[in-house]
Amino acid sequence: MKFTEMTRRPYIYANLLFISAAVSMPAIAAEGDRGIEEVVVTAQQREQNLQEVPISISAFTSDAIEKNMFSDVTEYITRTPNASFISNGAKSRRRISIRGITNSLPDSDAIRTSTFGFYVDGFNIAGSSINPPIMDIERIEVLRGPQATYFGRNAIGGGISITSKKPENELSGSVMADYSSFNTWDLEGVINLPIVEDVFAARINGKYSKTDGNIKNINPLGGGNDSEYKYIKVSFRLTPSENLTIDLTGTYADELAGMREGVPSGVFSAFAGDVLFASFPDRDGDGKADPAIDGIGFFPENRNRANFNSPQEVGTNFKYVVGTIQYDMENISFKSITGYIESDFFLRGDIDGGSRDFFNEFRTVPRDSFSQEIRVQNTDDGPLLWNIGFLYAKDNGKSENRTFVGDEEPFGIPSGGAIDSSDENGEKTNWSVFGQADWSVTEKLTLSVGGRYSSEKVETIISGFSGATITNVSLNKTFKDFSPRFAASYAVSEDMNIYATVSKGFKSGGVQVSPFPGAESFAPETLWNYEVGLKADFLDNRVRMNLSAFYMNWTDLQTAFQQAGTDSEGNLTLFGGIDNAEKATSKGFEFSGTALVTDNLIVNLTVGYLEAEYDIFTAFIQGQNRILDGFTIPNSPKWTLSADAEYTFDITDDIDSYIRGEWTFRESIHSTNEGIINGNGFPWRVPSYDFVNLRWGVNFDGFSVVGYVENLFDSVYYTNAFQKAFSGGVHIEPSLRRFGIRLKYNFN
């Protein structure tokens, strides 16, 4: 299958799945007494049945997380309808999108303003990371649509909540070893320790993984995208009385990779082709310079080779501490969550991506965040449930960047001279109050009203130069907002609920360096979301279907731009920032379904349909104003589908087994606005793709053995084309096929 083809395989798979489900449906009700398990979520800060919450949610239980082998944010995002991601060459450089809403600020900015609330055990880590380790997890919840009331802090696109397993009063644990393609080792261990019976317990997680990587550097320098990852988490739970619970968790993670992973595309960005490498030969006779073949060629013929002449390193490390105190009175519960996180993203070495010595970059972005949240809610069974809270948060960050020229001495700058230098210090202070009340008007009808008032002050100091552009500014601005939410849910029957919501989303504006007078700040982004949904269980809880439809109306959508070139004297000029699209809309629907076809066979299906478009937007791209009215917003695939089927069976009375197949499909996208104006050609238009995973597991006496292959048919695809100063053209993080085996032992 060529990477440019519009594959028909996804539609064949989908049709087969629907036909299979339709044929099996009449037999489901008669097959056994087992039903689909209830899923408990905490999307509204209290434990509720997923089917009763008036929010479009994808929830993954601990069993699903383990069976799917989730280890990265992208893996559960691809199993979520109307959610997508692009990867810019590193685990710390993922950008996710939900319903067309995506992060716009560059990864290298001192202060990260996320578009999503990203919570781990009630603590928002979005200011430092959106890709925490996935290990020893109780549940992952992905909430679609604005979630200002409970997730706050710029959760305009939705919320992601990860709940870890807590210490328990029994001795238990597990050890795991996984070996897969590219000499990849993944070792994990968990131990739960009851220190004082029924009063004090601890839980310790540890993880170590390393890989030789799927990309090799053919240069004598050697290396490639080999990586090493270390992670440890220690949790304590103190329960001195029935009413008081105190949790304390500390986490440390460190990742180091040998390169920003990617292979050359053979297509220059305008900046690289017209400015940086304009002296390269014109091989195809079109009057423009062509990227260097460099002995390795281009994607898709080259999916596993690079050729860079200076060392590269890219990675991130972070550590955080979260303390939670919960005190339950007769009908009132009080909860305090205090969190602190430090992170450091770094990029060091070769950034021209070729065997000639043009540029080396050294960048580090240390950040830290502190937050204190207090919640009070009632816990009785009365017709009125309420929840109020207060949040104070402060984010600090620095971005230090130096780019030096190499022996090729571009632009006549002596070797070792700086062509780019910047120091950015940022601070963001946020406080907010929030609350929600749910009134059961009748046994069937519940009305909800909630909202959050927030104030956020952003301060930035930037100094340095990029080529001939000199910067020395100090800026600050305060943004205030009230985001309400209204919902109504109606229980049509004991097993079916319908709901409607109207909610506002808000993302703070910011300050920036701009070559345009009056553009030193960009406006807040706001949207109104209108949504209806249905959640139902059928056939004695053997079939579950959730359906939602939405319409979102945007104002001042934030979108990134970057401009580079030369001035009248031939000096390099570089600048970038955030622009506001005046109007945009997003509409679509989401479906998720589960069918327990027999007591041994369970099937899941998700479908997302999305139309996210700029309505009014004139963007400054490649030195010109470009009208993007009517174009699809980047990273907004029209169709996102996924499915899995799992069949369980007994080999003997003591040995059980399962076979599991997983399928994912994403429609084609443009990943950037620059990609839109460059047209539908390679690599700017990212083609549709799909892939299939297959797993076979055996369980006995606390042991489990799983053999697996990911991307079974070796589909050739990529999620986006990312650029820096790449002499081989913009780079592509190629797909790969992975074979592996996993051994695990659980004890208690």
Q: What is the mean pLDDT of residues 373-378?
A: 96
Pull the structure tokens for residue 64: 């699903």
Q: What is the mean pLDDT of residues 556-568?
A: 74
pLDDT value of position 468: 66
Which run of H or of E encompasses 436?
strand 418-440
Nearest-angstrom CA–CA distance, 561 and 577: 5
Q: For residues 632 and 615, is the Cβ–Cβ distance under 8 A?
A: no
**pLDDT-based confidence at residue 268 (cuts at 50, 70, 90):** very high
pLDDT, tens only, 335-374? 999 999 999 999 999 999 999 999 999 999 999 999 999 9
On average, the pLDDT of the chain sits at 89
Q: Are strands 48-49 and 418-440 parallel, antiparallel or unpaired?
A: unpaired
pLDDT value of position 523: 87
Cα 448 to Cα 56, 223, 380, 444, 451: the distances in Å are: 16, 57, 17, 13, 10
pLDDT, tens only, 216-260? 999 999 999 999 999 999 999 999 999 999 999 999 999 999 999
- In the predicted structure, residue 709 carries a pLDDT above the cut 50: yes
- Dihedral, 146, 147, 153, 154 alpha carbons, nearest 10: -10
pLDDT, tens only, 403-437? 999 999 988 889 999 988 889 899 999 999 999 99
**pLDDT-based confidence at residue 735 (cuts at 50, 70, 90):** very high
SS3 724: coil
Count of alpha carbons within 13 angstroms of residue 106, beta-carbon side: 18
pLDDT value of position 515: 60
pLDDT, tens only, 49-75? 999 999 999 999 999 999 999 988 899
pLDDT value of position 631: 95
- Dihedral, 283, 284, 290, 295 alpha carbons, nearest 10: -60
Q: Are strands 227-238 and 305-306 parallel, antiparallel or unpaired?
A: unpaired
Q: What is the mean pLDDT of residues 575-590?
A: 89
Which residues does residue 397 pair with via DSSP β-bridges, in sequence order?
367, 426
**pLDDT-based confidence at residue 33 (cuts at 50, 70, 90):** low
- In the predicted structure, residue 593 carries a pLDDT above the cut 80: yes
In sequence order, which residues have a C-beta less than 8 Å from that of residue 317 and are 6 or more positions away?
252, 253, 254, 255, 343, 344
Cα 644 to Cα 67, 79, 264, 470: the distances in Å are: 11, 10, 34, 54
Nearest-angstrom CA–CA distance, 550 and 54: 13
Q: For residues 585 and 551, is the Cβ–Cβ distance under 8 A?
A: yes
**Smallest Cα–Cα separation from 457: which of 429, 480, 437, 485?**
429
Q: Is the pTM of this model over 0.85?
A: yes
Q: Which domains does the chain have, with CATH numbers?
A: 9-439+457-477+494-747 (2.40.170.20)
Nearest-angstrom CA–CA distance, 151 and 158: 8
**pLDDT-based confidence at residue 639 (cuts at 50, 70, 90):** very high
Nearest-angstrom CA–CA distance, 400 and 421: 8
pLDDT value of position 565: 62
**Smallest Cα–Cα separation from 88: which of 728, 723, 726, 559?**
723
Nearest-angstrom CA–CA distance, 291 and 278: 10
pLDDT value of position 400: 92
Most confident of 82-91, 521-530, 591-600: 591-600
Which DSSP letter does residue 410 get?
G
Nearest-angstrom CA–CA distance, 262 and 691: 20
Q: For residues 424 and 398, is the Cβ–Cβ distance under 8 A?
A: yes
Show contacts of 360-364: CB within 8 Å, 24+ apart: 360/310, 360/403, 360/404, 360/406, 361/401, 361/402, 361/403, 361/404, 361/420, 361/724, 362/401, 362/402, 362/403, 362/404, 363/108, 363/399, 363/400, 363/401, 363/402, 364/398, 364/399, 364/400
- In the predicted structure, residue 101 carries a pLDDT above the cut 50: yes
- In the predicted structure, residue 31 carries a pLDDT above the cut 60: no
Which residues does residue 161 pair with via DSSP β-bridges, in sequence order?
119, 141
Which residues does residue 566 pair with via DSSP β-bridges, in sequence order?
572
Pull the structure tokens for residue 152: 């706050």
- In the predicted structure, residue 684 carries a pLDDT above the cut 60: yes
Q: For residues 612 and 100, is the Cβ–Cβ distance under 8 A?
A: yes
